[in-house]
Amino acid sequence: MPARFRHAALIGKHQLPGPQPLLTEIAAFLREQGLRVSLDHAAAAQTGADPAAALSLAEIGAQCDIAVVVGGDGTMLGIARALAPFDVALVGINQGRLGFITDVRAAEWHEALGTIIMGDFEEERRSLIEGGIWRGGQRAEEGLALNDVVVGRGATASMIEVRVDVGEEFVANMRADGIIIATPTGSTAYALSAGGPILHPAIGGWVLVPIASHTLSNRPIVLPDGKPVVLTIVSDADVSANFDMHGITALGPGDQVRVWRSDLSARFVHPHGWSYYATLRRKLRWYEGTTS
């Protein structure tokens, strides 16, 4: 059995106003179990704790060995990117609908955390995409994504044209509303709604999904993640790029989005008996033929 956790960070959802009793209950429970508990700024504001004692994400990464994130998948995405360099274990408690990566339901947090903090849990690593924007041969922006990198049209209705290269090989010029490059984690996000396949998190690959392609034969393709992918803007149109819908950057002809598999990974812990397939059944309502 893995070693017991000793210093927990409790992280809240920044958009929620006012006091959050759930955060107060979780903090008290963790302390009762003998853990030192530190709060991020959102959790401190929502529990009435001294804001001066709240930790930044960098301080949480340096001091804590587990982070309990209360919110949805969107909240977890930012936390996972920030804490990936520190190898902090992440557990997500979802206050609304069941999430793919915040998979502990709020009604079940007590039992789930009780076993996790004692070292009885399932652990998995999720890969990240690293990369950036190149302009005139120089790196202009950098980015990190747990879900996906999206190159898409801006405010205009025009399609965009993007050249796709994988490693040293030219793949195609694609005309579409946009292009998504998604990790296995991100395969159940925007890429899924655009018609892409679901990739199991253990797969060392990405999915490249055209958004509303002009040519029906431009289909989603699963790529190995061992080679970089380069998306070069061909069309003179309103184009933008983002990493996990964060840091949107305007692009022009000749600009490139270059991505590769990051050396970093997000470390998730789940209650004992957790199953990725069970999460898919619940989230996607695959109820037929199951008893759970």
Q: Which of 40, 50, 65, 73 does the annotation list as catalytic?
A: 73
* CATH number given to 129-262: 2.60.200.30
Location of each CATH 2.60.200.30 domain in the chain: 129-262
Write down the pLDDT at residue 183: 98
DSSP 208-236: EEEES-SSTT---EEEETTS-EEEEE-SS
Answer positive or negative: Cα dihedral of 14, 16, 18, 24. Answer: negative
Write down the pLDDT at residue 11: 95
Comparison of pLDDT for 2 and 79, the residue scoring more? 79
Q: What is the pTM of this model?
A: 0.92
Is-catalytic flag, 238? no
Superfamily designation of domain 7-120+272-283: Probable inorganic polyphosphate/atp-NAD kinase; domain 1 (3.40.50.10330)
Write down the pLDDT at residue 3: 60
Location of each CATH 3.40.50.10330 domain in the chain: 7-120+272-283
Q: Which residues pair with 70 in a beta bridge?
A: 93
How many residues are listed for the chain in this entry? 292
Q: Give the H/E segment covering residue 103.
A: none
Q: Quote the mean pLDDT of the chain.
A: 92
Write down the pLDDT at residue 1: 44
- 55 DSSP assignment: B
- pLDDT above 70: residue 2: no
